[in-house]
Amino acid sequence: MKDISLGQYYPIKSPVHRLDPRTKMIAVILYIITLFLIPMLPNYINNGGTLHDYLIIAAVCYGLIFILLIVAILFSRVPILRVLKSIKGILFLLIFMSLISMFFYGGPISEGSWQWSWWNLNLSTESLINAGIMSLRLVLLILGPTILTLTTTPTDLTAGIESLMSPLKLIKFPVRIFALIMSLALSLIPGLMDETAKIINAQKSRGAHFDSRNLFKKAKAMMPILIPLFISAFKRADDLANAMDSRCFNSSKKRTKMKRLSFKARDLSLLLFVASLIGIIVYRGGLYMQSIMIGGIVLGGVAVVFMLFGIIESVVLKRTDG
């Protein structure tokens, strides 16, 4: 089985693995918001800051985030290389983006800084710093959710999403079904991957070429794979529906769950820790990006409210269940 980014759970026991999935999800959401709260160089300078100040702010903010990340990785006991592997997937995007932002930097350049230009391409101290920070941000952006998926089983993830979305029940959104669909999709992925490999081999053995360099030929060669894959996916779905019906799905009874999420002291302390880090970062750098900051706070607020709902619900359910 090759790497499947959605199901890359790393099965060991660690403090991070033990955390409530909702805690981890909220923490990751807050983490992402924070990343976007740190000002970018052009905005900072346009708002009257200097390059020197910016470097200090960036060092503090990214330093804090970096510490948070390292702590999380160390506590999760996942090998660092395994975590870093996730960057491989965005390597092309990363290089592309940093090149663009390096050569086409549109922000103001201070007088004393180093500059170089050829044809339409311009380099300067600012553009290099900007490109560096942008790639750093992208890498950090990927690593946070990677730790989440490495330390949380897909089942727990869907349970977490289900719980966080539970306020939507108020507007009759079928949260339970939605979560089930997600977990079904996750459980079907390995099977479908196997199926694809089988079909590719079958078509190859009948003389199909998939290694043409021509893009059109390549696209055309996909058809004999896609059609059987679709047919087998529908067949599979049909079988699955029968199997689910046979196991009493769709009964009028209210479904219960075997595993119930529980929000513990360690979850609260982690959230407080993350929140305080974010507090520092907003205080240091967020002042310059008010619009984004307001958006971030609103998002974070919504997330927290959702989480509270989920927690309250689970506490209430526990009470009633005895």
Contacts to another protein by CB under 8 A: 1, 7, 11, 153-155, 180, 183-184, 186-187, 190-191, 194, 235-236, 239-240, 242-260, 321
**Least spacing, CB of residue 149 vs another protein, in Å:** 12
| Neighbouring residues of 234: CB distance < 8 A, sequence distance ≥ 6 | none
Residue number with CB closer to another protein (121 or 184): 184
**Least spacing, CB of residue 150 vs another protein, in Å:** 15
**Least spacing, CB of residue 184 vs another protein, in Å:** 6
What SS3 string covers the chain? CCCCHHHCCCCCCCHHHHCCHHHHHHHHHHHHHHHHHCCCHHHHHHCCCCHHHHHHHHHHHHHHHHHHHHHHHHHHCCCHHHHHHHHHHHHHHHHHHHHHHHHCCCCCCCCCCCEEEECCEEEEHHHHHHHHHHHHHHHHHHHHHHHHHHHCCHHHHHHHHHHHCHHHHHHCCCHHHHHHHHHHHHHHHHHHHHHHHHHHHHHHHCCCCCCCCCHHHHHHHHHHHHHHHHHHHHHHHHHHHHHHHHCCCCCCCCCCCCCCCCCCHHHHHHHHHHHHHHHHHHHHHHHHCHHHHHHHHHHHHHHHHHHHHHHHHHHHHHHHHC
Residue number with CB closer to another protein (185 or 226): 185
- Amino acid symbol at 132: G
Residue 8: count other Cβ atoms within 10 Å of its Cβ.
14
Please give the biggest Cα pair distance in the chain: 75
Residue number with CB closer to another protein (138 or 229): 229
Residue number with CB closer to another protein (111 or 321): 321
**Least spacing, CB of residue 5 vs another protein, in Å:** 14
Residue number with CB closer to another protein (8 or 203): 8
**Least spacing, CB of residue 160 vs another protein, in Å:** 14
**Least spacing, CB of residue 197 vs another protein, in Å:** 13
**Least spacing, CB of residue 199 vs another protein, in Å:** 15
Residue 51: count other Cβ atoms within 10 Å of its Cβ.
17
**Least spacing, CB of residue 153 vs another protein, in Å:** 6
Supply φ then ψ for residue 86, to 5 degrees: -65, -20
Residue number with CB closer to another protein (244 or 272): 244
Residue number with CB closer to another protein (117 or 187): 187
**Least spacing, CB of residue 135 vs another protein, in Å:** 33
CA distance 203 to 197: 10
Residue number with CB closer to another protein (183 or 203): 183
Residue number with CB closer to another protein (106 or 322): 322
